[in-house]
């Protein structure tokens, strides 16, 4: 039997709500119109408001039907089970049969998400932001098909998160892994820098003097060495100029001194 036919068949006629209250009948009629137009989000809002005004079986059944169309299977089943328990008023034989039929079609489509390993002290587990009651480190939750975010946190632990995708009627398990939070490490104290001595150098560290007691600059051998070095430098320079060339450049390559030539 088509879902629309079931929805229309179970509609019960009831008197208007007493004056001063919201108009449950008008909201119910608007909800049916939005449902027939395929706008199930607006229809569910209207049916919900009508149900708050007057808890009637017809309203609860129609709300369950549009929630089912929106994929809100868990909430739809909860409403149908409440209808069977008489939470919204008594059902006739025909209405009871229709509720049972819709419940049988919807309940198997609900997915199951199991959470395990949640045994840390003070742990807080949530599925899609909703807190989950944990018993003996685990929990079993009915969820709608789709992707769900499971999070867990506990004092002194690194927060954990996992995304779990479930199809209709599927069952998956999320194993919580809460690693210990890293402890703060104390930075090593900087080593004291060696003190700089501002004392004048001792006599032993002063400039060397020749045997005669004079300074280094007064030594004749120093000036002889400087003269030889200058003479050699001048001779090399004159040799380069007279040969008309320049000194060939060299550059260390693989540890050897080799001449690098430019391409002509």
What are the residue boundaries of the structural domains of the chain, listed by start? 3-109, 111-175
**Closest of 90, 146, 141, 77 to residue 113, by C-alpha:** 141
Asked if residue 146 lies in contact with residue 74, where contact means CB atoms within 8 angstroms, the answer is no
Q: Give me the tens of pLDDT residue by residue for the chain, a chain 264 residues long.
A: 444 444 443 444 444 444 445 899 999 999 999 999 999 999 999 999 999 999 999 999 999 999 999 999 999 999 999 999 999 999 999 999 999 999 999 999 999 999 999 998 999 999 999 999 999 999 999 999 999 999 999 999 999 999 999 999 999 999 999 999 998 665 555 554 554 444 444 454 444 454 445 555 555 655 556 665 655 554 544 444 444 444 444 333 333 333 333 333
Residue 184 CB: number of other CB atoms within 10 A? Answer: 6
Q: List the strands of the sheet with 130-131, edge to edge.
A: 130-131, 124-127, 146-153, 160-166
CATH superfamily of 111-175: Carboxypeptidase-like, regulatory domain (2.60.40.1120)
Burial state string for 165-182 with b = 16 or more CB within 10 A and e = fewer than 16:
ebeeeeeeebebebeeee
pLDDT in tens, 68-104: 999 999 999 999 999 999 999 999 999 999 999 999 9
Percent of the chain with pLDDT over 90: 60
Token pair of 37, please? Answer: 């137009």
- H or E element, residue 112: strand 111-116
Residues in the chain: 264
Mean pLDDT of all residues in the chain? Answer: 77
- DSSP assignment, residue 175? E
Under CATH, which architecture does the 3-109 domain have? Alpha Horseshoe (1.25)
The residue written with tokens 């703060």 in the block is 184
């Amino acid at each position: 039997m088509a879902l629309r036919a079931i929805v229309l068949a179970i509609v019960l006629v009831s008197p208007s709500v007493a004056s001063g209250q919201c108009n449950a009948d008008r909201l119910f009629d608007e909800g049916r119109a939005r449902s027939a137009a395929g706008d199930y989000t607006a229809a569910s809002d209207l049916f919900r408001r009508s149900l708050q005004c007057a808890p009637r079986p017809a309203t609860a059944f129609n709300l369950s039907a549009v929630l089912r169309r929106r994929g809100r299977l868990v909430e739809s089943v909860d409403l149908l089970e409440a209808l069977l328990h008489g939470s919204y008023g008594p059902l006739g034989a025909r209405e009871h049969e229709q509720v049972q039929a819709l419940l049988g079609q919807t309940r198997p489509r609900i997915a199951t998400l199991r959470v395990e390993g949640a045994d840390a002290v003070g742990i807080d587990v949530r599925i899609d932001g909703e807190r989950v009651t944990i018993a003996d480190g685990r929990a079993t939750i009915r969820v709608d098909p789709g992707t769900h975010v499971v999070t867990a946190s506990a004092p002194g632990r690194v927060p954990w998160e996992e995304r779990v995708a479930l199809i209709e009627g599927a069952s998956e398990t999320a194993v919580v892994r809460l690693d210990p939070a890293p402890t703060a490490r104390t930075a090593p104290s900087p080593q004291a820098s060696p003190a700089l001595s501002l004392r004048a150098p001792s006599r032993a560290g002063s400039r060397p003097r020749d045997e005669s007691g004079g300074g280094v600059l007064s030594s004749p051998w120093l000036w002889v060495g400087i003269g030889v070095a200058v003479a050699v430098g001048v001779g090399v320079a004159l040799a380069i100029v007279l040969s008309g060339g320049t000194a060939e450049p060299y550059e260390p390559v693989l540890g050897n001194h080799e001449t690098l030539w430019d391409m002509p």
